C-alpha cells in the first residue's frame, strides 16, 4: 500500500484533517497541504458570521438596498443555496427571516433587500470548504486523498477509505464522493454540526436521530442533511436531483 501522509489544523471550529496518498514524487507534498488549508482558511474567513470582517458579517450589518462586496466563493455558495432553497420549497434556507433577503448582483457582490435580513451559511459552508480543499489538492498534483472537517468529508482518486458513522455499528468504504452527518435534536430541528455557528448557551439537549447524506460534492451532502432532517424522508426528490443517498438512524 502506498504511504499516506496526514496533516490537521483547527479551522471552522473543528479539527480539519487531510490525508494524501504519496505514490510518486511528482508533486510537492507540503505545498499540497499548504494550498488545501489555505482554501479552507479562505472559506472560514469569508463565510463565518462570527468574524466581523467576513462577507456574512458585513452583509448582516448592512442597510437595506446596500450592495455588499464579497469573495467570489461566497457568491458561489449563495447561488447554490438559492438553487437548493427553490428546489426544496424553502426547507433549506441560509436566510434568517421571512422572504428573500438578498439578490446576487455579479460574481463579486450581493444586494441586501431587507433591513433586518441576516445570512447564516453554517449549513453549507463547511462542506464547500471541503470541496475547495479537494480541488486545491488535485491542482497540486495529488491523485488520491481524503479531507475531513469534523465529519463532513470527501474522498477522491482510486482506493477506498474506511468510514465509521456516528451512532451506528460498523461502517463502510468511501472511494469517491462526500459524506455529511447532522444530528436531529429534541425531535424538532436539525442541529447544524457546522463550526461556523457560534456556540449556544450551555444546555443539555436530547439527540433523537442522526442523518447521514452521501453526495458527489460535500456542500450538497452538508445542505441535504438539513432537508432530510426536517422531512425525515430519506428518499426526498431533491436527493435524487443532486445524486445523493441518505440514512436516518
Residue 185 lies in a domain: no
State the pLDDT at residue 205: 41
Does the predicted model carry a pTM greater than 0.75? yes
pLDDT score for 25:
66
DSSP notation for 61-127: HPPTT-EEE--HHHHHHHHHHHHHHHHTTTSS--EESSS--EEEEETTEEEE-STT-EE--TTTHHH
Residue 110, domain member (yes or no): yes
**Does residue 89 or residue 26 have the better pLDDT?**
89
Give me the number of domains the chain comprises.
1
Q: What is the pLDDT of residue 182?
A: 82
**What pairing do the DSSP bridges indicate for beta strands 95-96 and 177-185?**
unpaired
Which of 13-22, 178-187, 239-248 is the least confident region? 178-187
In a domain, 101, yes or no: yes
Q: Is residue 55 situated within a structural domain?
A: yes
Does some domain include residue 133? Answer: no
Mean of per-residue pLDDT scores for the chain: 86
Tell me the pLDDT tens digit for each residue of 166-203: 655 556 778 889 999 887 665 444 544 433 433 333 33
Residue 157 has pLDDT above 80, yes or no: yes
pLDDT-derived band at 113 (thresholds 50, 70, 90) equals very high
Residue 163 inside a domain? The answer is no
**Residue 137 predicted with pLDDT over 90:** yes
- In 3-state terms, what secondary structure has residue 179? strand
49-107 residue pLDDT tens = 999 999 999 999 999 999 999 999 999 999 999 999 999 998 899 998 667 899 999 99
Range of the domain at 62: 49-119
State the DSSP string of 8-35: EEEETTEEEEEEEE---SSS-HHHHHHH
135, part of any domain:
no
Amino acid at each position: 500500500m502506498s504511504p499516506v501522509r496526514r496533516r490537521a489544523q483547527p479551522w471552522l471550529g473543528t479539527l480539519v484533517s487531510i490525508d494524501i496518498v504519496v505514490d510518486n514524487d511528482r508533486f510537492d507534498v507540503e505545498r499540497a497541504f499548504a494550498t488545501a488549508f489555505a482554501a479552507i482558511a479562505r472559506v472560514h474567513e469569508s463565510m463565518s458570521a462570527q468574524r466581523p470582517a467576513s462577507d456574512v458579517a458585513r452583509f448582516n450589518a448592512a442597510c437595506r438596498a446596500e450592495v455588499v462586496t464579497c469573495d467570489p466563493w461566497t457568491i458561489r455558495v449563495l447561488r447554490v443555496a438559492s438553487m437548493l432553497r427553490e428546489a426544496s420549497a424553502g426547507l433549506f434556507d441560509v436566510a434568517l427571516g421571512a422572504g428573500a433577503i438578498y439578490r446576487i448582483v455579479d460574481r463579486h457582490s450581493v444586494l441586501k433587500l431587507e433591513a433586518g435580513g441576516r445570512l447564516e451559511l453554517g449549513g453549507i459552508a463547511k462542506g464547500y470548504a471541503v470541496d475547495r480543499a479537494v480541488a486545491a489538492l488535485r491542482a497540486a498534483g495529488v491523485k488520491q486523498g481524503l479531507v475531513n472537517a469534523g465529519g463532513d468529508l470527501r474522498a477522491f482518486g482510486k482506493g477506498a477509505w474506511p468510514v465509521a458513522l456516528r451512532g451506528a455499528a460498523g461502517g463502510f468504504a468511501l472511494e469517491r464522493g462526500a459524506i455529511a452527518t447532522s444530528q436531529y435534536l429534541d425531535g424538532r430541528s436539525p442541529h447544524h454540526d457546522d463550526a461556523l455557528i457560534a456556540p449556544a448557551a450551555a444546555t443539555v439537549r436530547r439527540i433523537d436521530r442522526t442523518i447521514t447524506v452521501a453526495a458527489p460534492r460535500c456542500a450538497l451532502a452538508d445542505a441535504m442533511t438539513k432537508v432530510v432532517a426536517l422531512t425525515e424522508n430519506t428518499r426526498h426528490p431533491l436527493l435524487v436531483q443532486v445524486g445523493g443517498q441518505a440514512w436516518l438512524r
